[in-house]
Amino acid sequence: MVEQAKDQTNPLLERLRFLCIASSNLDEFFEIRVAGLKQQVNYKAVQLGPDQLSATEQLQRISTTAHRLVAEQYRILNEELIPALSHEGIGLMHQDQWSMRQRSWVRRHFYGELMPVLSPIGLDPSHPFPRILNKSLNFLVSLEGADAFGRNSGIAIVQAPRALPRVIAMPTELANGRLEFVLLSAIIQAHVEDLFPGMRVTGCYQFRVTRNSELFVEDEEVEDLLRALEGELHQRRFGDAVRLEVSDECPEQLTRLLQNEFGLGEDDIYHCQGPVNLQRLMTVPDFISRPDLKFPAFIPSRHRRTPINADLFDVVRRGDLVLHHPFQSFAPVIEFVRQAASDPHVLVIRQTLYRSGADSPIVKTLVEAARAGKEVTVVVELKARFDEQANIELAHQLQEAGAHVVYGVVGYKTHAKMLLVVRREGKQLRRYAHLSTGNYHPQTTRSYTDFGLFTCNNTIATDVQRIFQQLTAPGRTGRLKKILQSPFTLHSGILALIQRELEHARQGRPARIVAKMNSLVEVQIITALYAASNAGVSVELIVRGVCALRPGLPGVSENIRVRSIVGRFLEHSRVFYFQNDDAPEVYLSSADWMGRNFFNRIETCLPIEERRERERVIKEGLESYLLDNTRAWELGSEGAYTRVASGGSPQDAQLQLLEQFREAQPTI
């Protein structure tokens, strides 16, 4: 994302968004990954990572890389983006840039909107250091003089309530024909002395603390997972500190005060040459109506088989249907649930919800279906990281409507994306299923690439029913016939498919593997891919995130190529292709090739059996990305990515897919 922020071929405001996303991703990395390593150090764990580094050694390397990354982020902001924005008439104004009229407006804004909600706290024996919320904006203020009670602690803390916007647009009449923005931090710093009347402020410095945000709920030891999580969510805001960000001009003495207060080491301190939370700048593009500085607007097309008001049950009966998001609209999925909810012939609706959004139209429809007397069962994954609170609220809504709500299987996250509808048609019951590589979240379907399959194939739909039975009731449902499932058959199934390609290669038959996923780290899978490469199998991997496999190593992985596509949309789909002696098999999956997905989650991996839809997935989800020479990065044998040189005509997979589907019938 940092490279995307630097890329001048991206529109300017999108570059700012990419920088904010990079900051957000780094926050989560510290909250979860760094926090976990720090716990290992505290518990004196001796287990080494796959790279044979101890937790302490990993933290040292992370600190070096992260400090370099943070410095680069602020360099991009200060030296590239802010000057470029200013050139376009968009300003992030510093105090010394305000005119007299602007200063008057800022002062009125401070007194009218900020001062009533700010609670400065002086540090003295009766006012200990306040609890600092995770990732909240705070100010360390140094003071001189005594107050009305003769107190002179010299130090105070000002906490900015989270409800306050971090970026404020200057009124148009004061902006001199430009779009000018003022940061909340600048307004507070300009008027912080007004919070301490009769005293002299000698310094005011932003700081932010990142805390351990992993939830600690022992599944086996709680009787009610929902209540346990509700109690744990409050503690997340005050977990152990793992990182301290301070403004670059903060004196060393005051930085040490904060460091000691939070129990952090020298490597945990990050000096920021700008706002301590770059993610807050994400709101800036929303204020600006400049299409020339953003990606072109697009409307997802409707699949030609799903025109508005189509009977989707009839559509699916006529054949399997694959939707490719965000290029094709997610609306048919929502409409399918709505039609099921209102159809008198529908008896049962079952669905998994991992991330669905706080105001999900699907959840509202499930509520209506339950109130209408349908048998509605929803598997809500309460431990979907950072969506726990939203999922708890959704669970309450569904339960109050009369839906059956369960939370999956103790010890296993339900990460599978499944929808099952049972409908009476004449004298028989027919099952309709939808399975996806992504979540039932209308917003992310506009920014993540994913595939979803509608089918009434009886074998696949029966497999889906059996998985729901596993999730809701004890017992053994038997082996699934078509779907590979974690934690039971997915890992062994993928290994068997890789081994089959290896055997084809040894026999001189066509053998090729193409796999697209978010992460590849599972050791046995990597070992199997190395063996396949040595047998002559062509292995082409499209891995957006972490890849622990090294391609191109002599005698190990000479036939393996790894690339990553980083573009406008986040690549999220998991697609696995096996040539199988020119009888190709293609699978869509909710799972990456990671240990947690194979062994600690409920996941699905299903074959695309109809030739027409299988060829679509191969062409749109794999071949176009293998040809991309615009947004592609190649992984070298030393473990570093380099951008693919654009040779010949430019190929941009995402852009080409947008153009391809633009000619189709538009959605509303």
* Distance (Å, whole) CA 346 – CA 637: 54
* Distance (Å, whole) CA 381 – CA 390: 11
- Side chain identity, residue 536: G
Counting Cβ atoms within 10 Å, is residue 163 exposed (0-12), middle (13-18) or buried (19+)? exposed
Q: Are strands 200-211 and 321-325 parallel, antiparallel or unpaired?
A: unpaired
Counting Cβ atoms within 10 Å, is residue 51 exposed (0-12), middle (13-18) or buried (19+)? exposed
Sheet strand arrangement including 167-169? 90-93, 179-183, 167-169
Computed over its alpha carbons, how large is the radius of gyration of the chain? 27
* Distance (Å, whole) CA 68 – CA 79: 16
Among this protein's residues, is 415 annotated catalytic? yes
Q: Are strands 155-159 and 138-144 parallel, antiparallel or unpaired?
A: antiparallel
- Side chain identity, residue 223: E
Closest by CA position to 207, among listed 168, 239, 251: 251
Angle, helix 12-28 to helix 55-75, in steps of 10 degrees: 160
The neighbour count for residue 497, using CB atoms within 10 Å, is 21
- Active-site residue, selected from the candidate residues 191, 303, 324, 415: 415
Structure token pair of residue 209: 């603390």
Burial 373-382 (b: 16+ CB within 10 A, else e): ebebbbbbbb
Q: Which residues pair with 246 in a beta bridge?
A: 207, 271
Q: List phi, psi (to 5°) of 257.
A: -60, -45
- Please, what is the Cα angle at 575 between 495 and 479, to 5 degrees? 50
- Side chain identity, residue 336: F
Helix or strand or coil: residue 143?
strand
Please identify every residue annotated as catalytic.
Answer: 415
